[in-house]
Amino acid sequence: MRLGITTNCFATAIASGEIDLAGILEFAGEEGFLAAEIRDAAGDIPLDELDAVVEDAASREMALSYAVNNDCLIPGDRDTLTGAVIRAAACGEGTVARILASQSVLAEKSRKGYTAAETDRIVMALRDYADIAAEKGIVLALEHAGEPLYGDGDSFFGLHDIIVALEATGGMPSSLALTFDPANAVFTALCKAPVGPEKVFEFLGKHSHYIAMVHYKTTSSGELSPVIADADIDNERLFEELSAVYDGVLCLEVPAAETLDECRSNVLTSLEYMRKNGLMGYLAQ
């Protein structure tokens, strides 16, 4: 596996103007990251700005991926997705673009996941989106966020159910994959039906062949940690099981702090934890 970092670790500092994407790439290169995810929530980063980022990353021999906060179940999402695909393709052939299913319908407090009808609509949209991605030579990687890994098969449905539905209706498109975020599945403030660590490892065992990106952060007692630390999901076991089935980018995604200095400090503290606990041994240097 190769260590990457998402620009979302610096989201607040970007918003305040304390740092830009070039500054993040410089920091990432100095700290030994081999890849970076460009988080473009609205899918509207100017293409000339993105081209400069791509050139900068190439000069550092740093691989790029892309991420957009789309929503398959809202009007106009196909246009958002199409714009995101164009931007991901600008990062190079085969670029992985993290996408979402639908977070808007999960906003209701009583929700645990998707309805059967929503699952069907998401599957239809994903097939369409996969065709768009294939035309541009990129791979879409669907991430679980508020939705659970597993539904109950009756009253609510999750990512596993979306995968099963895709497999049952023509198979998983070659241009559609997964972004696996273990912490999201146990993060009680985010996931509508959190599971325990064993279910996370079960999901990894079932669907590892679809994973094209991994996001890495940690939780403690279901709460998101500001830095990588001892976690609900055992870090060493996670790295060991991941490394046996996955050889792509493991993208650090600690939450953005209030200031640039705090953002940098949290990343550096996370790296130090990883070194002290032998996790870097699972990663290419």
Mean pLDDT (the chain, rounded)? 98
Q: Is the pLDDT of residue 257 over 90?
A: yes
Say what percent of the chain tops pLDDT 90: 100
Confidence of residue 17 (pLDDT cuts 50, 70, 90): very high
Q: What is the pLDDT of residues 160-214, one digit of tens each?
A: 999 999 999 999 999 999 999 999 999 999 999 999 999 999 999 999 999 999 9
Q: What is the pLDDT of residues 200-226, one digit of tens each?
A: 999 999 999 999 999 999 999 999 999
Q: What is the pLDDT of residues 68-78, one digit of tens each?
A: 999 999 999 99
Going 93 to 94 to 97 to 102, the CA torsion angle's sign is positive
Average pLDDT rounded to a whole number, residues 265-278: 98
Helical spans, DSSP H, in 110-259 = 116-136, 159-168, 197-207, 235-245
Residue 266 confidence (pLDDT): 98
Residue 285 confidence (pLDDT): 80
pTM, entire model: 0.98
DSSP one-letter code for 140: E
Residue 196 confidence (pLDDT): 97
Q: Kindly compute the dihedral angle of the four CA atoms of residues 27, 100, 136, 89, in this order, to the nearest 10 degrees.
A: -10
Helix axes 197-207, 159-168, angle to 10 degrees: 20
**Taking the chain, what is the end-to-end CA distance rounded to the nearest angstrom?**
9
> Cβ distance 38 to 10 under 8 Å?
no
